[in-house]
């Protein structure tokens, strides 16, 4: 099984199924189970996505920023497809999705489904 580390709060947002795409500067031919781990490194708050959106998403699950775990395996997902970001923006159905990823031109959006949270 492959694994990927995400900075918090993105790792927890994925484990909570609030984030359906992971954006990267690179693509992969791999499809299948993917272990999502939270990075041990903490980012300063000014580098977070719009903090209100993050707080709202966490609150829907009874969580706060202090509840984030660093350096942990959080869930397994299935990587089912990859799209160029310029293609996907026309059909991303989630309002928060574009706040939780870098959908700028020339990047790739990895579609993640079937969250199995630990």
Q: Tens-of-pLDDT digits for all 118 residues of the chain?
A: 999 999 999 999 999 999 999 999 999 999 999 999 999 998 776 666 677 888 899 999 999 999 999 999 999 999 999 999 888 766 665 566 777 888 888 999 999 999 999 9
Domains of the chain, start order: 2-117 (2.30.130.30)
CB 11 within 8 A of CB 41: no
The whole-angstrom separation of Cα 8 and Cα 6 is 6
**pTM score, whole prediction:** 0.90
**What pLDDT score does 108 carry?**
95
**What pLDDT score does 3 carry?**
98
Sheet holding 108-117, edge to edge: 2-6, 32-38, 73-84, 108-117, 21-24
Quick one: DSSP state of residue 42? P
């Amino acid at each position: 099984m492959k694994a990927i580390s995400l900075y918090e709060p993105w790792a927890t947002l994925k484990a909570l199924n609030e984030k359906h795409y992971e954006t990267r500067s690179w693509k992969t031919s791999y499809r299948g189970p993917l272990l999502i781990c939270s990075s041990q490194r903490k980012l300063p708050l000014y580098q977070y996505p719009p903090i209100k959106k993050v707080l709202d998403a966490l609150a829907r699950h009874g969580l706060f920023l202090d509840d984030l775990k660093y350096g942990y395996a959080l869930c397994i997902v299935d990587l089912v497809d990859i799209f160029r970001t310029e293609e996907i923006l026309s059909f991303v159905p989630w309002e928060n999705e574009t706040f939780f990823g870098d959908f700028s031109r020339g990047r790739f959006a990895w579609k993640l489904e079937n969250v199995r949270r630990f």
